[in-house]
Amino acid sequence: MSRETLSLLLLVAAILLAVAAAATLVPFPSPMISDMGYHTLCPFAPWSTLTLLFLAGVGWVVRQHVNSQPPM
C-alpha cells in the first residue's frame, strides 16, 4: 500500500470517527437515558463520544507520522 493511500485511509477513518462521535450526542427518542441526562442516539454517551474522539485522534497522529517519514 502506498503512503498516499494509507494517508488517505487514515484521514477518512479520522473524519468518520469524529462524525460518529458527534452523532452519539444527538437527541433521539430512545428508551434509555444517557449519562448526560437526556435521551441520545447512543445510550453510552459521553463515554462513547470520548472513545471515538480518542480513536480519531490516534488515526490523525498516525497519519501525521506517516506523512513525516522521508520518501523511500
Give, for all 72 residues of the chain, the pLDDT tens digit.
889 999 999 999 999 999 999 999 888 888 888 888 888 888 888 999 999 999 999 999 999 999 999 887
Burial of 43 (0-12, 13-18, 19+ CB in 10 A): middle
Owning domain of residue 15:
3-68
Alpha carbons 29 and 55: distance in angstroms, whole number: 27
Number of structural domains, the chain? 1
Secondary structure class of 27 (helix, strand, coil)? strand
Q: CA separation (Å) from 59 to 23, 31, 34, 39, 64?
A: 19, 33, 27, 29, 9
What pTM, to 2 d.p., does this model score? 0.88
Q: What pLDDT was estimated at residue 57?
A: 97
